[in-house]
Structure 1
Amino acid sequence: MLKQIILATTMGFATISVMAANTIVEMKTSVGVVELELYDDKAPITVDNFKRYIDSSFYNGTVFHRVIPGFMIQGGGMTKDLSEKQTNETIRNESSNGLLNSRGTLAMARRNDPNSASSQFFINLEDNAFLNKAERNAGYAVFGKVIKGMDIVDKIANVPTQNKLTHQDVPVEAVEIINMKIKAPTN
């Protein structure tokens, strides 16, 4: 009888685990492929926003327009000529979700207004504790992490950069996001 209860309980947890699976995204860049795991349960607003952009093919043809070695790579909102794409409405900042801006995590870029994130995101190249929510700092919302292809992220981080138009730290040769696709959606 006890074995049956333990087995039933274990099977129940397995079912719950499957239902709460995180979304897996494949990001194909001009440098290589990066696989991302999105934290659907910890950052639901941010993940839903990101998935809407993926589903609409918004990210296809955008570039990593800001690359700072030892800090982060940022993309998801500009084309090769550094024109900003028209975005959806901004979202509420979810930086209070307990996730930290550590190496390999995916976070939303924003302006000074904490609730101004739209399409642009960045991948942390190091542990960037100063980007986390603190007493007087709204923080930057982490909503995923790189699970494959951190070597590709590091390659992007090491491309030569320049000042171009009004932007700094722009890759000399564009690093394009060719496409993103959801490989394993949340059940």
Structure 2
Amino acid sequence: MANQFCINVSGNRKINIEVYPQHAPVTVENFTKLVKSGFYSGLCFHRVIAGFMIQGGGFKIENGELNQKASANIRGEFTSNKVANELKHTTGTISMARARDKDSASSQFFICAADCAYLDGEYAAFGRATDENSLKNIKEISEADTGKWMHFDDVPVEPIIIESITEL
């Protein structure tokens, strides 16, 4: 059974996703808990790369700076971390962002704006966009003008805010 969510993004854009607890139960439980607590409201997509992905869920823009909003780390649910997860990183797939440590994912996620098979088995895919309008919005966000901001690359010049994520 897939749970459904709507990511409400500035510019009156919506990204509808469904998540699959049968493939990534820890990840889906963590994401759902963060959504229900309102954690994501007001955060931004802080890294967008055309033909690759959009990443958000960990930073807020405050006083002209990107400030991290921390959350507890969870186990990485993907093959190279000895967890069976057969979901593929195709266009519209939502997956957990992480650092080099395979168990360093917390709240940040990315959504593939293209097929990214080289990520399969290395990142915890846990759902996907459910409709064409959502895929259009993902592509549009990924193509935003970007620049360097502080020590971050690929930051949208015009902030792209996650206004809220709601469970449907």
Q: TM-score when scaled to structure 2? A: 0.91
Residue 95 in 1 paired to residue 78 in 2?
yes
CA distance in structure 2 between the aligned counterparts of 1:64 and 1:178, rounded to whole angstroms: 11
RMSD across aligned C-alpha pairs, in angstroms?
0.8
Paired positions, count: 157
Mapping for residues 12-51 of structure 1, pairs under 5 Å: 21-31=1-11, 32-51=13-32
Q: State yes or no: 1:128 paired with 2:116.
A: yes
Residue of structure 2 in register with 1:16 after alignment: none
Cα distance in 2 for residues equivalent to 1:155 and 1:102:
17
**C-alpha separation between the residues in 2 aligned to 1:36 and 1:45?**
17
Q: Which moved more, 1:105-114 or 1:90-99?
A: 90-99
- Residue by residue over 1:162-184, the C-alpha shift from the partner in whole angstroms, topping out at 9 and shown as x without a partner, is 0000000000000000000111x
Higher strand share: 2
SS in 2 for 1:168: strand
**Could you tell me how far apart the structure 1 residues matched to 2:99 and 2:23 are?**
22
1:82 paired residue number: 66
Instruction: Detail structure 1 runs of 4+ shifted over 4 Å in the superposition.
Output: none
Percent identical pairs in the alignment equals: 39
Equivalent residue for 2:34? 53
Question: Hey, what's the Cα distance between the residues in 2 that align with 1:162 and 1:40?
Answer: 36
Letter in 2 for 1:57: G
Unaligned 5+ runs, structure 2: 80-84
1:86 shift after superposition: 2.2
In 1, the alpha carbon distance for the partners of 2:4 and 2:102 equals 26
Query: Rg: which structure is higher?
Result: 1
In structure 2, C-alpha distance between the alignment counterparts of 1:23 and 1:38, rounded to whole Å? 5
Gaps of 5+ in 1: 1-20, 134-138
Greater fraction of residues in helix:
1
- The residue identity in structure 1 corresponding to 2:157 is V
Quote the Cα distance in structure 2 between the aligned partners of 1:93 and 1:58: 20
One-letter amino acid of the counterpart of residue 126, structure 1: A
1:74 partner SS: strand
Report matched runs for 1:34-183 at 5 Å.
34-80=15-61, 81-87=65-71, 89-96=72-79, 97-133=85-121, 139-148=122-131, 149-183=134-168
Structure 1 CA distance for aligned equivalents of residues 113 and 140 of structure 2: 11
TM-score by length of 1: 0.82
- Residue type matched to 1:95 in 2? F
Distance in 1 (CA, whole Å) between partners of 2:148 and 2:135 is 26
